[in-house]
Structure 1
Amino acid sequence: MTHDTLLRRILDPSARADPYPLYAELRKTPVLRDGDDLFVVSTYWEIKGLLHDPRISSDARNLSPGAAGTLLQEEEDSPLPPAFLRLDPPEHDRLRRMTMRPFGPPETPRRVHDMRGELTRIVSGLIDDFGDRKQVDLVDDFSYPFPVTVICRLLGVPREDEARFHSWADTIAAGLDPAPGQDPGENRRATRQARTDLGRYLAGLIDERGGAPGDDMLSALVTQHGADGRMTRMEVLSTAALLLIAGHETTVNLITNGMLTLLRNPDVLERLRTDPALAAPLVEELLRFEPPVQLLPQRTTVADIDIGGTTIPRGASVWLVLASGNRDPKRFADPDRFDPGRRDNQHLGFGSGIHNCFGAPLARLEAQIALTELARRLDNPRLVADPPPYRQNAVLRGPRHLEVAFDALGT
């Protein structure tokens, strides 16, 4: 790839605050070839088709030696086997079925629903902790600690250990998006150590739950028996790490991007304050308008695919730009307008097909409760800086900090 390609401009951190004009330019060539073996797909129907196409592999082991480099360095650094997110059928299907049993329908249909009260208490506690301050960093003070605490409760991490869990999660998150000027070697060493410490802790917790299971999800993963047999110890570890990293990072961005969008649309914010029922369609529109996952890199073709008038050869690397598909005017009317009342909003915010986001029901509920309570309790909230400083990561796009000022804190 040459330095001045359109893809390089999209990946440049200077584009992070508003990549959407670049996505519009990208859509002029629905399947863009960049270099010898990288194809970038940017239009809604072509992305949707590929997400359901068995000729597209998510398994990194199928990447050709010359394929584009990783944007998700943590996969290289992890001592664990790939989580089901990075596998193909039948391995993917077996592990996903086993993970779903203690998480959702049909075996555990009320798991997420029954967390509503706990989620509301966590959100209320975090807002209470704003105390007498009239300005907070929504990322540090709210969006980051909320989903980590939720995952701790979901997995059954003892309350006295949650602070340690938070510390490891923060370090791993920083590894995904190093601060400007930070030494890359030191960052990788810190991330690797946090992963090692977290892995050892989870391994101990797995052993403990194997002998004395509780009603948490980790206990269910350790002890479950079914048609698919039992997960190995390493598979449980890998799945638990996936729940932490994938679930945490996406929810942070969903909530932060959501509050930023609401503060830029004060009429919608006021509607949410007086009508909590708006939360569900509002979050769906946020997932279209400002999706927490902008693109899916490192998919690989296992056969030639003809799409959009272009043949993508077997063994090529394919990037699917979900956020561009979500703004495709051939699929969504007036796509650059934020409209919580939008009908037929079948966005790509959680992907589609067999890799459709496993944690989507929980992420939706977390965002609905978080944004509703922030709208209700912050009196006259406003942005301190717009645009805020953004993280450099092009895949997991969101503000690094979001300073919000307000006049008072309601009860």
Structure 2
Amino acid sequence: MSTETLLERITDYANRANPYPLYSELRENGVSRQNDGSYLVGTYHEIAALLHDPRISSDLRNRADPDEALARTDGLPPAFIRVDDPEHDRLRRLTMRPFGPPHSPGRIDALHGDIEEIARELIEGFRDRERIDLVDDFAYPLPVTVICRLLGVPQEDMPQLRDWTNAVIDSPDRSPGDAPDRRWRAGVEARSAMADYMGELATERDDHPSDDMISALVHDESPEGRLTRPELMTTLTLLMIAGHETTVNLITNGMLTLLRHPDARERLRREPELMPSAVEELLRYEPPVQMLPQRTPLTDIEVGGIVIPKGAPLYLLLASGNRDPLRFENPDHFDPARADNQHFGFGSGIHSCFGAPLARIEAQVALTTLLDHLDDPRLAEDPPPYRHSPILRGPRHLPLVRTVGAAP
């Protein structure tokens, strides 16, 4: 089959459960130009170089046809993951001040006890249930509860936030015959509605600040000033969505992988000190972020002997790079004790994942708690139903069956 259809096949929902053979095909053929004029890169060393190359832009306004790209946005200023330095650096540093070091070094570590408590409370709800959905019953409520507490978002608004988030996350799905334009419009409308909602919360914190990140961002007095209100709206929307969606997939993909690899699961029960290493391997083996689709060369650039023209859409297939045999030994093998593991699970370069420290803690606590308290979980179906998004890939549901009366 022609390599010019790889993007179409990778993003086809029919291949969502197992895109890895397509990634292998991409690596075997090097850089691949697609029928729509975009380019795919799936080899580790080339991806690493491009993620650190200042000639590669994250700003849609640098596309060869920027009007077409920007037509699908909501009119608000782009979040910091969608702009380049120096604007990216300014926005990211302002956002980092109340989140982590050097200005707020203890905020994330202080959440560790809360995360453990939330995980235990969720697990306790399984006591008398023979069938559970790991997504709805555990993997979703844990990180969304954490990010709501961190930002200062009322938990009673979680159902509406989930609807908006689902619309945004599913909007890039390009599966043929599945109304992609409708999904794009729904995603734009949902993102705009969530930004308005976040703006309202920020307005409330103007006069009534509390000990949360929204208040800190509203009232922070940095040498560079504050985020403008539109910048704050897009930043808070980004933090709300990215602050839980990737972790939902990390926990769900992680438990699915452990259920498929019982020897590794039992080893982690015997050697819980391996869990940090296991989470890093899960980020390599089944990363929640499969690709970076919105990159643009600022000039003609040669990659793997192929010239990618200025302004062309460029896709970096992170999940493919994570399984590149030229970088990782036995890359299709899940090894919870893998030592050499410089994966792309959180990206790399200036746009590396802002919330990686929090996601690592949540995943380690979540999987440890599940292994400690669920003695006999079994997959009710394999593969499970997946979410539409080809970018943030993970099961929409993960139904498990267990023996009533077993742990917890």
TM-score, length-normalised on structure 1? 0.91
User: Structure 2: how far apart are the matches of 1:266 and 1:202?
Assistant: 43
Q: 1:191 to 1:305 in 2, by over 3 A?
A: closer
Q: 1:380 aligns with which of 368, 376, 386?
A: 376
User: Structure 2: how far apart are the matches of 1:129 and 1:193?
Assistant: 35
Alignment match, 2:169: 176
> Which deviates the most, 16-25 or 169-178?
169-178
Deviation at 1:78, TM superposition (A): 3.3
1:343 aligns with 2:336: no
1:147 aligns with 2:140: no
Residue-by-residue CA offset, 1:120-175 (whole Å, 9 max, x unaligned): 11111222222411111111111122221111101112xxx312133222343145
Q: 1:204 aligns with which of 200, 213, 220?
A: 200
Q: 2:158 aligns with which of 165, 175, 197?
A: 165
Deviation at 1:193, TM superposition (A): 5.8
Matched residue type, 2:269: R
Alignment match, 2:81: 85
Residue-by-residue CA offset, 1:46-79 (whole Å, 9 max, x unaligned): 0000000000000111122289x87xx9x93534
User: Structure 1: how far apart are the matches of 2:100 and 2:60?
Assistant: 28
Residue-by-residue CA offset, 1:349-379 (whole Å, 9 max, x unaligned): 1110000000111111111111110111112
SS in 2 for 1:76: coil
Q: 2:95 aligns with which of 79, 95, 99?
A: 99
Matched residue type, 2:342: Q
User: Structure 1: how far apart are the matches of 2:301 and 2:3?
Assistant: 27
Alignment match, 2:58: 58
1:242 aligns with 2:238: yes
Matched residue type, 2:157: R
Deviation at 1:184, TM superposition (A): 6.9
Alignment match, 1:303: 299
User: Structure 1: how far apart are the matches of 2:131 and 2:350?
Assistant: 42
* Aligned residues with identical type, % of pairs: 57
Deviation at 1:38, TM superposition (A): 1.3
Q: 1:186 to 1:297 in 2, by over 3 A?
A: closer
Q: 1:94 to 1:308 in 2, by over 3 A?
A: same
- Root-mean-square deviation (CA, aligned residues, Å) is 2.5
User: Does the aligned pair in 2 maintain the 1:58–1:299 contact within 8 Å?
Assistant: yes
Q: 1:273 aligns with which of 266, 269, 273?
A: 269
User: Structure 2: how far apart are the matches of 1:11 and 1:18?
Assistant: 11
The 5 Å alignment of 1:131-146 reads 131-146=127-142
Matched residue type, 1:329: P
Deviation at 1:190, TM superposition (A): 6.2
Alignment match, 1:313: 309
User: Does the aligned pair in 2 maintain the 1:382–1:406 contact within 8 Å?
Assistant: yes
User: Does the aligned pair in 2 maintain the 1:145–1:166 contact within 8 Å?
Assistant: no
Q: 1:342 to 1:310 in 2, by over 3 A?
A: same
User: Does the aligned pair in 1 maintain the 2:301–2:308 contact within 8 Å?
Assistant: yes
Alignment match, 2:226: 230
SS in 2 for 1:108: coil
SS in 1 for 2:315: strand
Alignment match, 1:18: 18
Deviation at 1:201, TM superposition (A): 3.2
User: Structure 1: how far apart are the matches of 2:218 and 2:51?
Assistant: 31
User: Structure 2: how far apart are the matches of 1:393 and 1:7?
Assistant: 13
User: Does the aligned pair in 1 maintain the 2:64–2:310 contact within 8 Å?
Assistant: no
User: Does the aligned pair in 1 maintain the 2:284–2:322 contact within 8 Å?
Assistant: yes
Q: 1:162 to 1:183 in 2, by over 3 A?
A: farther
User: Does the aligned pair in 1 maintain the 2:291–2:318 contact within 8 Å?
Assistant: yes
Q: 1:150 to 1:329 in 2, by over 3 A?
A: same
User: Does the aligned pair in 1 maintain the 2:3–2:29 contact within 8 Å?
Assistant: no
User: Does the aligned pair in 2 maintain the 1:63–1:298 contact within 8 Å?
Assistant: no
Matched residue type, 1:162: Q
Alignment match, 1:328: 324
- State the number of aligned residues: 403
> Which deviates the most, 298-307 or 34-43?
34-43
Alignment match, 1:410: 407
Alignment match, 2:358: 362
Matched residue type, 2:15: A
User: Does the aligned pair in 2 maintain the 1:165–1:198 contact within 8 Å?
Assistant: no
Q: 1:375 to 1:79 in 2, by over 3 A?
A: farther
Q: 1:284 to 1:385 in 2, by over 3 A?
A: same
User: Structure 2: how far apart are the matches of 1:264 and 1:83?
Assistant: 37
Q: Which runs of 5+ in 2 are unaligned?
A: none
Matched residue type, 1:410: A
Matched residue type, 2:60: A
User: Structure 2: how far apart are the matches of 1:390 and 1:163?
Assistant: 26
SS in 1 for 2:293: strand
Q: 1:36 to 1:382 in 2, by over 3 A?
A: closer
1:5 aligns with 2:1: no
User: Does the aligned pair in 1 maintain the 2:196–2:233 contact within 8 Å?
Assistant: no
User: Structure 1: how far apart are the matches of 2:229 and 2:92?
Assistant: 16
Alignment match, 2:47: 47
Deviation at 1:212, TM superposition (A): 2.9
Q: Which runs of 5+ in 1 are unaligned?
A: none
User: Does the aligned pair in 1 maintain the 2:301–2:310 contact within 8 Å?
Assistant: yes
> Which deviates the most, 96-105 or 36-45?
36-45
User: Structure 2: how far apart are the matches of 1:372 and 1:350?
Assistant: 21
